[in-house]
């Protein structure tokens, strides 16, 4: 069992992924126990950014990262 499988079997959900249409995104963590709102800019060379609090991944629509995500 690899690390990802053991986390999933222990009841941990994989980080959320969201396809976005702007390079500037915000993440609030959601819910009462969420985290403060933070803002990120998606680097053009990567096409994605992850929240430093909850690991949510924001993928810029049409970027290379968007294409890779659809192949997975």
pLDDT of 48-57, one tens digit each?
Answer: 999 999 999 9
User: What is residue 13's predicted lDDT score, i.e. its pLDDT?
Assistant: 77
Separation of alpha carbons 69 and 10, rounded Å: 25
Q: Judge whether residue 1 has pLDDT over 80.
A: no
The whole-model pTM stands at 0.74
Which domains are delineated in the chain? 15-71 (2.60.260.40)
Query: Which pLDDT tens digit goes with each residue over 26-54?
Result: 999 877 778 999 999 999 999 999 999 99
- Backbone φ and ψ for 39, nearest 5 degrees, come out as -115, 140
Could you tell me what percent of the chain has a pLDDT over 70?
78
DSSP secondary structure, 2-71, as one string: -HHHHHHHTTPPPPPEEEESSSEEEE---STT----EEEE--TTT-EEE-TTT--EEEETTSHHHHHHHH
User: What is residue 52's predicted lDDT score, i.e. its pLDDT?
Assistant: 96
CB 6 within 8 A of CB 20: no
């Amino acid at each position: 069992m690899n690390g990802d499988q053991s986390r999933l079997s222990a009841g941990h959900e994989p980080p959320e992924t969201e396809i976005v249409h702007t390079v500037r995104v915000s993440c609030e963590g959601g819910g009462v126990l969420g985290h403060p709102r933070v803002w990120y800019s998606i680097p053009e060379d990567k096409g994605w950014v992850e929240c430093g609090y909850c690991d949510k991944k924001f993928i810029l629509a049409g970027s290379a990262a968007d294409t890779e995500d659809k192949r997975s």
